[in-house]
Amino acid sequence: MNGLYLRYRTFFRNIVIDILSFHTKPEPGVHILNGHYLSLNDNASPEIFNDLLQGLKNRGVNFINFTEAITLIVNRSIPKGKCLVAFTWDDGFEECFTKIKPVLDRWNLKAAFFINPNFIDGDSSYREHFKREVVFTDKNPMTWEMIKQLAAQGHTIGAHTLDHLSLNSNDVDFLKHQIDGSKMRIEEQLNTGVSHFAFPFGQLKYISAVGVDVACNAFPFVYSQDNYRRYFSFEGKVINRRHFECDWPLNHVIYFLKSKSF
Nearer to Zn ion by Cβ, of 28 and 122: the residue is 122
> Residues touching Zn ion: how many (CB under 5 A)?
3
Which residues have a Cβ under 8 Å from the Cβ of 31 and sit 6 or more positions away? 83, 84, 85, 86, 228, 242, 256, 257, 260
Nearer to Zn ion by Cβ, of 206 and 248: the residue is 206
End-to-end CA distance of the chain: 35
Least distance in angstroms from the C-beta of 77 to Zn ion: 29
Nearer to Zn ion by Cβ, of 91 and 245: the residue is 91
Residues 81-110 close enough to bind Zn ion by CB under 5 A: 90-91
Residues 159-198 close enough to bind Zn ion by CB under 5 A: none
Asked whether position 226 contacts Zn ion by CB under 5 A, the answer is: no
Nearer to Zn ion by Cβ, of 90 and 163: the residue is 90
Least distance in angstroms from the C-beta of 209 to Zn ion: 21
Least distance in angstroms from the C-beta of 201 to Zn ion: 7
Q: What angle do CA 192, 85, 180 make, to 5 degrees?
A: 30
Q: How many CB atoms lie within 10 A of CB 28?
A: 17
Phi, psi of 255 (to 5 degrees): -55, -35
Residues 46-75 close enough to bind Zn ion by CB under 5 A: none
Nearer to Zn ion by Cβ, of 29 and 164: the residue is 164
E strands in 29-127 = 29-35, 61-63, 83-90, 112-115
Residues 194-213 close enough to bind Zn ion by CB under 5 A: 200
Q: Which residues pair with 32 in a beta bridge?
A: 86
Please return the burial class of 138, using the count of CB atoms within 10 Å of its CB with bins 0-12, 13-18 and 19+. Answer: exposed
Binding site for Zn ion (CB under 5 A): 90-91, 200
